[in-house]
Structure 1
Amino acid sequence: MKREKEMKRKRWQTTILLAVIIVVTYVSIAITEFNVLTGITAIPQAIGWMFSHLLITQESLAKLPSILEKLNETIFMSIAATTTAAAVSIFLGLMGSKTTRVSNVLSVLARFIASFSRNIPVVAWALILLLSFGQNSMTGYLALFVGTVGFLTRAFIESIDEVSGSAVEALTATGATYFQIVNKAVIPQSLPQMISWILFMIETNIRSATLVGILTGTGIGYIFDLYYKTMDYNTVALVTFTIVITVIAIEMASNYIRKVIL
């Protein structure tokens, strides 16, 4: 009897949730004046435009060296932002974790920094920093750095919290110092997960750096924006293709590394 009541209650909850989603969707369409039928019928026309304009030609291939140069700038900026942010995040993760925290004040501060920097999008950070640093690679680097610190700190805290407490307790019982416990018990157990998160952020930051580059006038994003504004769609297609190939290649390399270390 109780089971039947529980099932009926869940059914009602699901029905109410679906009804709320439908109402919110309808209200959103009404407020934005979005025509669903027009949007659906425009899809074939949009696909046709893509196939007729976004073609890689011999002229666009001549610009490949300059595109690759900017692509390398984007990749190295993403890697630099991720690795330096990882170093800061390890420290904040140790301070914020329940397993290795030194004091409650530092733990709360580390978690606040992670939450604050993570909940503001990278694009918003780029716009904020753009006012102070202008359009240059430093602005893009700092935007990626701040966003990465927030994400990795949160991920590292969770990874450290999953460390086996028995190893920490054993070292504590032998009179080991805080740094010895971290070096011998915490880091070795959580390092594979940390490396996996760092690789994931490198992939994410390369994607984000393209959009950030449009705002800061750097990297592959700047090249994309330049040719898009001049309506050189053939070169835009080549830029897009190189970005996609790069992201896929890096993702395959990171997946392989994850399989080795995990």
Structure 2
Amino acid sequence: MTDMIVQHPETGCVIIFGDCWPVVSALENVVLDVNPDCTCKTASDLSTLVYQLTCEPQALLLLSLRPREHIFLFYALKEELIYHPTMVISDELFLSDRLILSSWGNIPCMLHQELEIMITNQQLRELSPSNFQHCPEKNILTDFLVTPVLSSGLSEVPQIFHLEERLMDYMSLLMYREMLNRGLTPFRMRLLEAIWTGHQTRNELAEMLNEPREKIWNEKHRLLTQLGMQARLRNILYGTRFCLFLQKTPFMPLYKAGSIREKARTSKQEETPDFPAGKSA
């Protein structure tokens, strides 16, 4: 699918959702610095976010979060992600995060490091306006705010799940498929599963898998190379699987998301009736 350019209105609307309020607040300031004429709204829960996006059909959506910790949010927002240009701001980007972004239409992402540079430059201008000319940094966020683009793909996750466990099982299947596409051998899959269960040292892995320590070392190195990951336990534990206990957004049944959208549409129609008060069709 080709990228769809969305005409940026003179006074647009940007909706920010995040699980860390200081970062959300800083991101809001950056957005207003890049586009002072826009209206910036924030949401702290999924119900509010669905409501706001329905009321603002032209709004841009910024998600300040780790995608792997908000699978249920992406699932509930499938309809909104089709029509609203969306971007993720995150402090980490593991394999699991990249898989979620690609599974929901190749959503673009920017790391906190770039956001920190924008915040620092903004603070320097405030301290010494005469020495620092206002010129927004050229990066993925400023490009997104000035020329928003809808996600280039479609969701790979069907809207058929009514239980969070079933959705998590499906996401695990997507991860397994991704690993097969990257050429992981059955032994390396077993090695990965052993690490998940808490066997971390070469001696522990060699004993569990009944293989020499040298083979464990070589296979682990090749495993990390195939997955494009650093040799850090955190990356392996949270970057190669999806965990229910990590989820920060509660699961929202599809019917509930639909009822929130309907409530928002009804409220908007009441605020902007088709005919002025005192006149009839």
The reply to whether TM is greater than 0.5 is: no
| TM-score normalised to structure 1 length | 0.26
| TM-score normalised to structure 2 length | 0.25
Higher helix share: 1
Larger radius of gyration: 1
